[in-house]
Structures are given as structure tokens and as C-alpha cells.
Structure 1
């Protein structure tokens, strides 16, 4: 069966990484990433395309279509609000299906003033003030994302000089949820899943958990869906007011970076969106019956300017760990096998190394050579330094190899430097 080719653009931000993680391991999907500005994408996407023109370039559509045709792209996920708006307005000019709402919906969702105007007659719409009569109030840019530019105003002295680009709203002191949704091509709302935002970093949820879908939230989701036109995934944010009622903050037609929390419940919204746009029928949703909490921090990926084709690696307390196997090191060993990098095991293991490998269910086939040496011997004497690296938990062994052979040496805490995360 031919794979569905999916392009994520731009491919460097948190929600682009979530799309990659949601789709890259699916057997019938091939994922591509593309960006105009270099960020994190090249560390994540195996199929990565750089130097794409900016969307405001007069040649963008032509160049982008060339990219789509060359790579036989079926579906495109825009990951930034401005890009989503552009694609929504130019869908008929793009040679692929795009996971984005229609141009009217995209324009309304992009502008909070338009959003609140559309829903002003519903009780979940926050109060919007044309003039300020009492404080506190909350101001937010008419067009913006990630809480950038939003501000609680407690008195007149805190107001910016020019409020023309802001929406002035009631202050909402309660808890905040994001609600992930999925709509098919006929406008039917297939799925609603609230999640709390318990800790934020730069406007992104870094701690949260799934929450119960209440009749109040379900009603809000259906009203939004009935008044706008979505294709595939979308989300909205709500916050409780002083009377403990939910009020709408914003709506978005793109993937959210924390949709990973909904995916962790078994509902892969990016994948389901691809299937919807490809015209698959009878899409079923499995929502696992458990509660889940998510917490995350920054992760690091690396690129070193040293090409190697041979790895010399220690065994005790390097491949092994606490009477078991070091899982990250095993990942690296299989990575070497996939990339045709030779792995030579060099060890002073006091027992029969082959028996120990068998007991730990480690295949001898992972190693091109097994070098067993005496405890008083020096490992550097058995290493060919040509395009090689050395991994060992022993500081003394690493110092010897580094000084005698001049090749890079790594403790097990540095395995991340050698990992290729691209898929």
C-alpha cells in the first residue's frame, strides 16, 4: 500500500514536533518537514527541507508547489497561525490537501475581536469593553498566540498608550482548559477532549492533565463547531469567570503542541485528520479509559562535526546498568546497526562475556567484534583510531584513549550527543 506523504510547515516549533511524533511511527505515513527559518526541525525530521521562501514572498506559492510535487506530498499541516491563515485563503492554489479551516473560519479565529463578535450573544463569550469603567481588566492583542502581549491591568496607570490593537475583556480569575476537537469534512464534531493547563512556559503548557467533558464544555464545543467550518483537528481555550462559568479565550485551526496529552489517551488527532482529508470513511476513535497527567521540560538534541564509522564500547556499567541493561545505550547500538556503523565491544568482564550477553538477552550480532582483555591491560592498545569513537564509564580509560589516540571519548551521560532522533 502506498504511503501517505505528509508535510509539516514550518517544522521547527513545539507543535511541529508533536505532529512529527504523532505521525512518524505510523506505518502508512511518510513525514516531511520544511521551514523558511532554521530552527529545531533538522534535528527531528529525517526528511527535512530548508530554505523555503517566506509566505510573503511573491514566489512562495510556485516554489512551495514545486516542493509538493517533487516529494509527492498528499497532506500539509501548517503550524503557525499566520501560515494557516495564508493557506486558508489560498487553498485552491496549493497542490495538496491542507489541514486548515476555510478562509472565513481562519480569519475569525485569528482575530479575537472577530471571534467575540461572532459569539457575543452566547453566555460563554467574555464581556468586551469599548471603554473602561472599572478594574481589573484584561487586554490581549486582536491577533496573537501563546499569550504573547496579554496583560492584566489593575489601574489606569498600567494601560498602554495605544489600545487600538487590543481587545479589552473582563478579567477571568479561574482555571484554564484547552479543549481538543476533531471535525469531519461534513462538519460533524467527532471528538471533544478537555485538558487543564497547570503550568505554562512561554505560553506553552508544560504541565497538564486530561479533564472530564462536562455538558457545559460540550455545549460550547458544539456551538463553535456549528458556527464555523473546520477540517480535522482544532482547539479552543476557556477560562472560568468570577461566577465559575466557562468563558471563551480563543479558537485555533492548527495543531496544538500539547495535543500529545490527548494522544497519550489513545486519540491521535493528527493521524485522524490525515485520514479525514484523504477521504477515509467510518473513522473510529478509541479513547482509553484512564486519566493521565503530563509534565515536560526542555530536551536537547545535538549535531557534532565528527564523522565516525566505528564505535568501541565498554560492557560493565556502560552497556549494563544496575544489574540490568542500559536502555539508552541499547538504543544507540541499534542505531549504529541501522546506519551500518561498526560496533566493537571491548571489555575486561571477569566472567564469560558470551554467557552474560545471553543472560541479558543481548544479541552477539550487535557487535562486529568482541575484544576480551585482561584487567591490567590498556584498552587504547586494541583500538584503531581511524574514524572511531570510544564509550566507557571509566574516567581513566577515557583519559588514556583521548591522550594516546586523540579520538572523541564519551561517558554514558553523553550518549545523547550521539543519538540521531530523526524519523
Structure 2
């Protein structure tokens, strides 16, 4: 099949990075990212487009369609609930397919009041109040997400004095554990995947630690009821929390990719890719596997430096080899530099037979443009051409000497990550 050109918008948030990781290595996908506000997208998306207007601006659709036509985009994937709703309402004005449900479904999922009204009568819907009739209770924005601007009200003294209840939902307090349940609905409306994951730790409303759990009859029933009442296309998820009796109650539903769908992807369900194929009219079949996964993540740093270089001089002992093992980030960097057409020079004072040591660690000599094995007492700077070069070495005195002699950037082993290019 011809490559499907996919545009992720906006492309700077955590869930857009999950979309990138799920799609960027697929041979049938050519991936693009676009944003109105530049954040992290340019560090990950090879094809990155900045400067789109906000969806609230009059010329947004015009600019979006310009990008779609210029790059022959086949499908656009929105990453924010408000963008999902906007795209759904304006699908007739967008010159490509968009990975969103119909307008009715998008609106139901965007507003909790509509979600609860649509599913009214089911036992998994929490108690909803019109006023502060019972304590404790929980207040959350009707169109919010990620736990932002939510309040637990334990008694009358904690009632916010300046809050417009028309924009909030008041519901029973749910003290128990919380789950996110990733789902997939095919083009015929059949629910093919229900994959619950426990939210063991969150940061800024985002699950950063969790594990998959077995699908209970209760969770499956909730997923099937939701799928029956709302029309989905491809991936979606819902969140549930246990009440004081231990029963699951619905918090919210969303039709965008969740950043922690990476956990479900680790089980073999690439929901973004399956959703693209579904939107393009193809039949998909999930592969169900029998193993469990735990996930824990923290912040990751990616860098850009304003120094152009063509040559990399890198040490061997305690730089490429650390404590008798190959240091994988160093090898990543070496392969990356070769991919970018840069020259990699191995420069070392290694004692013994260097060729045999390279063979021992299964490191090919062909990875290096030149191997400089120093057996005299001349400084490493003597053997280097400093023109558009950098130097990597664990030894401070070596770095100091090269920097003083050639005035080029030098890096310790811990700073190898500064040079890594994550763009795919």
C-alpha cells in the first residue's frame, strides 16, 4: 500500500509524543506534526510545522487546509479534547480525513454533563447533584480534563464563594482506586479491545506509573454499554473510579489518544496505527497476547545546541566501554552520527591490542572514519582537526587540554545525551 501521510495536531504535548512513538517507525506511515504554540514537537517530529493559528482564530481552517494540500495529508489526528470537538464540527471544511467520531459523539465526550445524561440509568454513573446537597462531594469542570480545577468539598465551609456552578458538575466523592480503560472500536462499531490499566501514580493529571490488569466482567460491561450508546471510530478511553462500596463509577470518556496508551501499546495493541487503518476503511484484527506489563516514567530531557559540527572525536576506555560493558548511549550516538553523514574518529590511549578489544566487544572498525591509537605522550589535540569538530572523553584533563588548544565544544560521558537526535 502507498504511504499514508498523517498529521498530528497539536504536536507538542505528552500524548502527541505517544502518537509519534506509535507511528514514526511504521513503514506505511509518513508522519507530520504541527502546532500553534511551539513546545516539544520539534524535538521529536522530523516533519514539524510551526505557527498555525489557534483553532479560535478565523483563519485556522484556511491555514490547516494549506498544509494538508501542500503535504498531501491523508488524515489528521487531533490531540486535545477541544480540538477533537472543533474538528468534528468542521469536518466538512477540512480537506482530509480526520480521526474523530461524529459530532454528536465528540460533544457527548467533551462535556461530562452530556456524558452522564446520555448514559443515565446505568449503575456505573455516579450520583449527580444540582447544589451542595450532600457532603463530601466532588466538583469538576464540565469540559475539563486531567483533574484540572477540581475540588473535593468536605463540608459547607469549603464551598468556593466565586464559582459558577453552570460550568461545573457536582457528583459523589469516589474514594477508591482509579483505572483508565483503553478501547478500540472498528469501522463497523464492534468493540475489539478493552484494555484496563491501573493509575498508580499521576503527575499533573497524567498517569506516570501503572500496570495492566485483568478485564473483569464489570469493566467489560461498562465498556460495552458506552460503545452501544456512543458512536466511536478507532481508539478511545474512559476513566473509572471505585465508590465507597467498591463499585466502579464513570469519571469521563475521551476520544483522543492518551499518553499512557504506551502501556497498552506495550501489550501489542498499537491503537493509533489501528485507528488510522480503520479511518482509511481497512479491516483490522488485534493480536491478543498473554503477558503483563508495568510502566513507570519520569521527565526526559532533549536538547538542541547551536554549534554545527561535521566531525566527532570520541574516546574509548571509560567512554564507549564502561565497567567492562559497552555503554549503549555512546553506541547510539556513533550510529546516529553515521546516519547523519558525520565523521566519527575513535581517539584512544588504549593499552593493549585495540583490534582484539574491539572484536571482544563486537564493535566494528567500520563504524569509524579513522581510528587514532595514541602510543606516545602527545596530547589528543595534536591528532585532531578542530574545524567543525567536537570531542567526547570521560577524562577532564583531556577535555580541558583540547578545549584550550582548539576552542571546540567538549563533552563528558554524562553529556552524550545532549548530542542525541530524537527526531524520526
Fold conserved between structures, TM > 0.5: yes
Measured after TM superposition, the shift of residue 405 of structure 1 is: 1.2
What is the Cα deviation at residue 159 of structure 1? 1.3
Q: What runs of 5+ residues in structure 1 fail to find an aligned partner?
A: none
Q: How far does the alpha carbon of each residue in 1:390-410 deviate from its partner, in whole angstroms, 9 at most, with x for none? A: 000111101111111111000
SS in 2 for 1:88: helix
What secondary structure does 2:128 align onto? coil
The residue that corresponds to 1:226 in the other structure is 228
Match of 2:42 in 1: 42
* 1:244-259 pair list within 5 angstroms: 244-259=246-261
Q: Per-residue displacement from partner, 1:182-227 (whole Å, max 9, x unpaired)?
A: 0112211111000010100000001100011111111110111111
Determine the C-alpha separation between the residues in 2 that align with 1:287 and 1:48.
Answer: 34
User: Distance between the aligned counterparts of 1:367 and 1:326, measured in 2?
Assistant: 16
1:375 Cα offset (Å): 5.5
CA distance in structure 2 between the partners assigned to 1:44 and 1:142 by the alignment = 33
Shift of 1:359: 2.1
Report the counterpart of residue 173 of structure 1 in structure 2. Answer: 175
Q: What is the deviation of 1:245?
A: 0.6
Q: Deviations over 1:68-127 (max 9, x none)?
A: 111111111100111111001111211111111111111111111111111121110000
User: Counterparts of 2:252 and 2:376 in 1: how far apart (Å)?
Assistant: 65
Q: Secondary structure at the match of 2:166?
A: coil
Superposition RMSD in Å: 1.0
SS at match of 2:309: coil
Query: What does 1:23-422 align with in structure 2 at a 5 Å threshold?
Result: 23-161=23-161, 162=163, 163-281=165-283, 283-374=284-375, 376-422=377-423
Structure 1 residue ranges, 4+ long, deviating more than 3 angstroms after superposition: none
Measured against aligned partners, the alpha-carbon deviations of 1:299-337 in whole angstroms (never above 9, x if no partner) come to 000010000000111111111122121111111001101
In structure 1, what is the Cα distance between the partners aligned to 2:137 and 2:126? 11
* Secondary structure at the counterpart of residue 420 of structure 1: coil
Structure 1: distance between partners of 2:32 and 2:295: 27
Query: Structure 2 unaligned runs (5+)?
Result: none
Q: In structure 1, what is the Cα distance between the partners aligned to 2:418 and 2:390?
A: 12
Q: CA deviation at 1:363?
A: 1.3
* Offset at residue 15 of structure 1 (A): 0.4
**Rounded Cα–Cα distance in structure 2 between residues aligned with 1:238 and 1:375:** 68
* Cα distance in structure 1, aligned partners of 2:170 and 2:364: 64
TM-score normalised to the size of structure 2? 0.98
CA distance in 2, matches of 1:394, 1:375: 17
Please give the alpha-carbon distance, in whole angstroms, between the structure 2 residues aligned to 1:262 and 1:134.
37
Q: 1:238 offset after TM fit, Å?
A: 0.4
User: Which one is further off, 285-294 or 249-258?
Assistant: 285-294
Partner Cα distance (1:209, 1:12) in 2: 25
